[in-house]
Amino acid sequence: MNANLQTVFATALLLAAPLANAGDHLITNTNSLSDVAKSVKAGDTITFAEGQWKDVDIRLKDLPGTSQAPITVQARTPGKTIITGASRFRFSGQHVVVKDFVFRDLTQNSDAVEFRADSKSLAVHSRLTQCVFDQPTFPAKETQSTHWLAIYGTNNRIDHCYLGGKSNAGTTLVVRVTETAGHHRIDHNHFGPRPELGENGGETIRVGTSDVSEFDSQTIVEDNYFEACDGEAEIISSKSCGNIYRRNVFDACIGSLTLRHGHRCLVEKNVFLGRGKPNTGGVRVIGNDHVVRNNYFEGITGTSNLAALCLYCGIKNSPLNGYAPSKTRNC
């Protein structure tokens, strides 16, 4: 065997070593969670048994995955582990993959699923994938405000999930923004129908809030399908800087992709299909140095704020929660 081949085989063995000793921890109730979280190693799998998990507090802290040996938190049978009611699901650590769960009829009055275990223990380079969030029976006039999913930390991803049917107040998916850019990615998800809320607080995605809107989030929202997301006038509410919204499809959605606060965002190659439905919109632009290009609009019926393209004159010296003027740069 020549020296080059020896090097290749040695490298492969080193990369495979953590996985060779990987363990699978089966969780049948929440009593064993803290012990498992303390004993889990890079490359391990934490598997939740089938069944309905109601009013549970699942908290997995500081899971020590690596890029070569992530820790997987999964349902034993995809779609058969159903988390419901006043439940919370929180995880933190590095290189954690959460997959195959169903989150249904969540009534927790805070963020139900969080990329953090607590305020000081956040998820980094972690992923939630192939999960379902739905709300088939939640009362339409429920006054309680809830968020289904909240991203904290940095370099996290949500992909290939279905989120639909949310009828109560509160954003479906929120990205928490701090002074450190998040660099998150939200891609290849299906955001299903959301009925009109009749007030603010019905966004499908919100990236930031007015008080942190001058910070860079650098979140990418791409290749998602938004179907009849009618919660409120802002389907996506961008409230931070440096975000990218591209190649998404907005199909018969009341409202618009709104650059509400912040600057330097890119909106490109999205498709807006109004299908003649009342109050369907396109892109609303507030703030400085945004780029909106190569988007497709068809059958949009909205006017004013909900026009296919709306640029705000704004308020001079606007407060953070106001309307910053739309200013352009030379291209």
pLDDT tens digits along 236-266: 999 999 999 999 999 999 999 999 999 999 9
Q: Degrees (nearest 5) of the Cα angle 303, 309, 312? A: 85
pLDDT of 102 reads 98
Structure tokens at 320: 């953070």
Q: What is each CA distance from 135 to 36, 49, 66, 160, 202, in whole angstroms?
A: 30, 22, 34, 18, 14
Structure tokens at 329: 């740069």
Half-sphere exposure of 120 (CA within 13 A, CB side): 0
Average the pLDDT over each of 48-52, 119-123, 191-195, 199-203 and give the range with the smallest value: 199-203
H/E stretch holding 34: helix 33-39
Computed over every residue of the chain, the mean pLDDT equals: 90
Q: Which residues pair with 88 in a beta bridge?
A: 57
pLDDT at 139 over 70: no
Residue 13 CA to residue 111 CA, distance in Å, equals: 42
Backbone φ/ψ region at 274: left (φ over 0), alpha (ψ -120 to 50), beta: alpha
Average the pLDDT over each of 14-23, 144-153, 198-207 and give the range with the smallest value: 14-23
Please, which pLDDT band fits residue 227 given cuts at 50, 70 and 90? very high
The DSSP secondary-structure symbol of 35 reads: H
Which CATH code for domain 48-311? 2.160.20.10
138 vs 283, which has greater pLDDT?
Answer: 283
pLDDT at 10 over 50: no
pLDDT of 146 reads 87
Mean pLDDT computed over 137-163: 86
Residue 196 CA to residue 199 CA, distance in Å, equals: 8
Residues 219, 186: contact at Cβ < 8 Å? yes
pLDDT of 87 reads 95
Residues 240, 217: contact at Cβ < 8 Å? yes
Closest CA to 194 of 277, 114, 134: 134
H/E stretch holding 121: strand 121-124
Residue 240 CA to residue 263 CA, distance in Å, equals: 7
Residues 231, 205: contact at Cβ < 8 Å? no
The one-letter amino acid code at 231 reads G
Average the pLDDT over each of 91-95, 127-131, 183-187, 312-316 and give the range with the smallest value: 312-316
How does strand 88-94 pair with strand 205-207?
Answer: unpaired
Average the pLDDT over each of 32-36, 158-162, 169-173, 194-198 and give the range with the smallest value: 32-36
H/E stretch holding 33: helix 33-39
pLDDT at 302 over 70: yes
pLDDT at 138 over 60: yes
pLDDT above 90 coverage of the chain, percent: 77
Tally of CB atoms within 10 A around 137: 9
List CB contacts of 135: < 8 A, sequence separation 6 or more: 104, 105, 106, 164, 165, 166, 167, 168
pLDDT at 278 over 60: yes
pLDDT of 2 reads 53
Closest CA to 127 of 118, 116, 115: 115
Measured in whole angstroms, how far is the alpha carbon of residue 25 from the centre of its chain?
27
Mean pLDDT computed over 301-307: 93
Please, which pLDDT band fits residue 21 given cuts at 50, 70 and 90? low
Write down the residue that tokens 């049948």 correspond to: 28
Closest CA to 202 of 245, 152, 146: 146
DSSP-based three-state secondary structure for 64: strand
Q: 24-55: per-residue pLDDT in tens?
A: 999 999 988 888 888 999 999 999 999 999 99
Mean pLDDT computed over 105-128: 93
User: How deeply is 41 buried, as exposed, middle or buried, from its count of CB atoms within 10 A (0-12, 13-18, 19+)?
Assistant: middle
